[in-house]
A = this chain, B = another copy of it.
Amino acid sequence: MATNAAARTMVNHQFRLAARPVGMVKRSDFSYVDEAVWEPKEGELLVKTIYISLDPAMRGWMNEGRSYVPGVAIGEVMRALALGKVLESKNAAFSAGDYVYGPFGVQEYPITNGQGITKVDPKIAPLPVYLGALGMPGMTAYFALLETGELKAGDVVVMSAAAGAVGSVAGQIAKIKGCSVVGIAGGPEKCRFVKEELGFDAAIDYKNEDVRKAIARHCPKGVDVYFDNVGGEILEGALANLALRGRVVLCGAISQYNTTAGIKGPSNYLSLLINRGTMRGMIVFDFAARYGEAAREMAGWIRAGKLKAKEHIVEGFEKFPETLAKLYKGENLGKLILKVGEE
């Protein structure tokens, strides 16, 4: 535990948004700032960041204007979910030594009033799991499939970004619920991971296969639920193979986030008409009141060995910009996390 005095001599490294990115995110979109570590005021707590979560949504937060949440302003600390340890608390709900999870931003010593911050228990699951399977990606997977996608046993599910943080969990949930699951991922290593480690029924390597034909081959009766994290040609391939009353869950469009060519809409969206299909967007925050319920069920699956949590951890605070770019280049296997401190 750092003492007050020690904390005052430490440096709060931060990445702040310096520019609206054009195309792929890059180091010059951020400024690296050293700030003093401030003393928490009454009601506040000082946290030492340990793990920073790297999420696809961050690219949208860097854009101008309002999406489902306001964008990050130029000069602001880059928004990020993170997990850390309380160093000093002037808030009765938290004590020094607590592990906490919340929107701390890309900085080493955040101060917060505790709003939107939850305590996590390292005895229930390793800390990184709280950023992945038991964090926002896991919650997204759970509610997107079970609520937005109206998943039912026997459904044929196609999972995009299947080796990613959300996809790897969602595909396993679909298996637990009695569905057959085809994962789409880039490259043989990810496809092997998806099939052999996660237990999906099949995997399609979008870098080396014709996705539309491969879905048709693996899903001869059509796709009941397509979980879209990517957009672009993979979305079109799934729409081309939609089953009658099939559902497309829109969770993201990572293939389109860093494009400068303008977003491409699915040219075969009329498959929704022909098949009486539904395409519906979901934002995980809408389910915040039910995170506890989902986390309890998923923690049970993890303990029972039915759900494997997989993290891809990169070490070093200063590597933040390049690590974020890895996400959009599809270089991660499982939940991508930046480790910036010791547990």
Contacts and interface: CB of A to CB of B under 8 A. Distances in A.
Contacts of A253: 270, 273
A250 interface: yes
Given A262-B267, A263-B267, A268-B265, A281 B274 contact: yes
B270 A250 contact: yes
Interface in A149-196: none
A68 B245 CA distance: 12
Nearest to A236: B265
A31 to B, nearest CB: 28
Given A263-B268, A268-B263, A281 B286 contact: no
A276 B265 contact: no
Nearest to A266: B265
A251 B269 CA distance: 12
A317 to B, nearest CB: 31
A252 interface: yes
Interface in A276-318: 276-283, 286
Given A267-B265, A269-B269, A278 B280 contact: yes
Which of under 10, 10 to 19, 20 to 34, or 35 or more describes the interface residues of A? Answer: 20 to 34
A113 interface: no
A273 B252 contact: yes
Given A264-B265, A275-B281, 8 more contacts: A68-B274, A68-B275, A231-B270, A250-B269, A265-B266, A266-B266, A272-B280, A277-B280
23 contacts: A67-B274, A68-B274, A236-B265, A250-B269, A250-B270, A251-B273, A253-B270, A253-B273, A256-B270, A263-B267, A265-B266, A266-B266, A266-B269, A272-B279, A272-B281, A273-B281, A275-B281, A276-B281, A276-B286, A277-B280, A278-B278, A278-B279, A278-B281
